[in-house]
Structures are given as C-alpha cells and as structure tokens.
Amino acid sequence: MKWAEACRWCAGVVWFLLAILVAAFSGSAQSSILEFSFDSESLAIPLNGAASVWLRIDNASVYEADAIEIAWLDGPVLLNPVEPIEVLDAFSDGSIPIILSAGSDAALGESEAVFEVSYTYCINDLCFQIIEQMALRLEFIPAVVDPLDVQIVDPVLIPPEAEPSAFPPLFAVILGSCLAGLLVVGNMSGRRWWVTLLLVVVIGVGLGYGILLKQDQQAQSIGAVLCTSCVGIEETPHEPPDLSDNARARVQALTDNTELLLFTAVWCHACPYAKAMVQQVVAVNPLVTVQLIDVDESQNAASQYGIVQSGRTIVPAILRVDTGEVIFGIEDLEARLMSLLEGSP
C-alpha cells in the first residue's frame, strides 16, 4: 500500500475519532438557564384540605445548577416542607413535588400564591445565586366532609409526565462510525454507487433528526449572537471582578434611580464577569437596579434596545434605560460602567 493511501486511511480514522469524541457528549439543543413551570395552571384546594402540584425544572444550559429550593412568599396557602434538588445536571430536568394546604386566610374562589425559587449556577469558577419568583393560580373549593379523604397525589409515585427520553449517544456513535467507515472505503476505492447512496442516507438522517431536535435553530442562535470573548475581541476573564474603593464611593454618591439591563447568553464566557460587576454595583447602592436578559430567550428585547449591531446581538451589553446608552464587552468595564452611571439622563 502506498503511503498516500495509508494517509487516506489515517484521515478516515481521524474523522472516526472526531465523531466518537463529539458523540461522547450527549445533550439536547437548547441554551438558557433554568426554566420553571407548574404542571397545572391552576390548583384546586379544599378550604380544609390540601392539594399537590409539581414544579418542573428544565436545565437547558450547559452548566449544572445546584441547591434548587422553593419557598413560600405570598398567598393564602401553607407550603409543606420541600426537599431541595442538590444538583441538576446540564441538559437535564427534574421535578419538585409541592403540597399546599389552605391557609387560615383562604376564602372561596380564585386566588394566587407566589413562591420564590432559588438556585446556584457556576460558570468555571464564578458562581451566582439566582432568585426567581413564580406565581400559581389557586382556586379554593368548599371544604370536604372529611379532610382525610382529600386526594393528595403521591409525589414520589406519580411523576407529572414521563421523563423525556435520554439522548441516544449510541445512535450518534453508530452514525459517526458508519460515516467514518464509508469515507475510508470511499477514499480507498473512489466513488461507488452504494457509497453515494449511504452518504445520501447520512445526509437525510443527519438533517432530518437534527432539524427535529431544533439543531438548526441552535446553529442560528449561536451565529446570531456575538460573544465578545468567544471570537477573540476581548480576553476571557478568569478572575471575578473587584469593584475598586473609588468606584464604590462614586456609586454610593449616585442619588437618582438608575435602571440597567444586562444582556447575556448562557454560553458567553465574558458575561459572568459583567454580571458580577453589575451585581457589586447594585449591592453598593440600591438606587441602581439591574434586570438580566438572556438574548437567546429575548431576541426582540435585544433589537428593541439597540443591542443588535448589523444583525448581530453583542453580549455582554449593559444598557442604561433612561439614557439608552449601551456599553459592550468587558474591556475596562469599571471605568466605562462608572461613566455610564454618572452620565446625566
């Protein structure tokens, strides 16, 4: 065998290894942090009883979320103790069973309860605690004769819906291996009708299954957002920011309410740095508030506020709402953030 032929074999093997390597990771094609939903829109609770509902949690991000807890915030209900979820892996989902009893101030008819969900997520060494609020509609129904008759769905035995099937990495491995084998054969023997046919099958299966999994949308959303550190416009920071004393004093001296919007993407490496710095500013002066916007989730908001430049949403971006001024990226962020905050509306 000529050495060139051998090299072609090697090229096929490289391809094979790449296919295995990539297929070894399994996951689905989504990109946001945690998504919460109750498994029913409204919950009927007898005035003298209790009822249960599932809080579904979908981790569509590339990082695991830790210590997911739910607490009662408002509404005429009592929340039975809830077991927190310690770790929710990337691209996985979980459910927390919630048992609610009618509170002493409950009255017949519709009402609403508000809960606070908190969790921690880390990107590399930077960790953040995220707190979100969730509302659940309630309907208090007349008391049942015997409270013991109230049916409480056993939270352990009956999950709200079947767990979505795990990604079949095996399928990807088989497909990748077949392709690698085909290419080796193709490179050795040239074009044969059955090689062509099988490659057409690979195209059909790849595109069909990929589009079914919305991987084309994933590709679009990756292309549509420019993360400044990803393509080498800025450095990727590895240390959390530390607001200087001078900056703290300047933030404390602010006397006007200032609302900031921080545009981020889950997979953006520079975003946690920007987020941490803004959170430090907010902690120093409560007059400054910040709202986080995931651009993968809210592309409309990004274009509405001018975060989109030439069709590309740039993250991280910090917008001051009253002036409409925007700063992109994290280079020299403290100084630029100060001038953004101190500018007059």
Is-contact 95 40, C-beta < 8 A?
Answer: no
174 binds other proteins (CB under 8 A): no
Q: Which helix (H) or strand (E) holds 209?
A: helix 193-212
- Binding-residue pattern over the window 216 to 255 for other proteins, x denoting contact by CB under 8 A: xxxxx-xxx-x-xxxxxxxxx-------------------
- Binding-residue pattern over the window 282 to 321 for other proteins, x denoting contact by CB under 8 A: ---------------------------xxxx-x-------
Residue 316: is the preceding peptide bond cis (ω within 30°)?
Answer: yes
331 binds other proteins (CB under 8 A): yes
**CB within 8 A of 303, min separation 6: which ones?**
313
Sign of the CA dihedral 62, 63, 68, 70?
negative
203 binds other proteins (CB under 8 A): yes
71 binds other proteins (CB under 8 A): no
Angle, CA of 36, 42 and 44, to the nearest 5°? 130
Is-contact 279 290, C-beta < 8 A?
Answer: yes
Of 47-55, 94-102, 210-218, 281-289: span binding other proteins (CB under 8 A): 210-218
| Residues 43-62 within binding reach of other proteins (CB under 8 A) | 62
Say how many residues make up the chain: 345
Radius of gyration of the chain (CA): 26
73 binds other proteins (CB under 8 A): no
CB of 38 to other proteins, least distance (A): 28
From 78, 210, 240, 298, residue interacting with other proteins (rule: CB under 8 A): 210
Using the structure block, give the residue that is written with the tokens 């919305």. Answer: 214
CA distance 207 to 205: 6
From 187, 279, 285, 298, residue interacting with other proteins (rule: CB under 8 A): 187
206 binds other proteins (CB under 8 A): yes
209 binds other proteins (CB under 8 A): yes
| Residues 125-164 within binding reach of other proteins (CB under 8 A) | none
179 binds other proteins (CB under 8 A): yes
Residue number, 233 or 284, with CB nearest to other proteins: 233
Residue number, 130 or 230, with CB nearest to other proteins: 230
Closest CA to 305 of 255, 238, 260: 260
Closest CA to 92 of 169, 27, 161, 168: 27
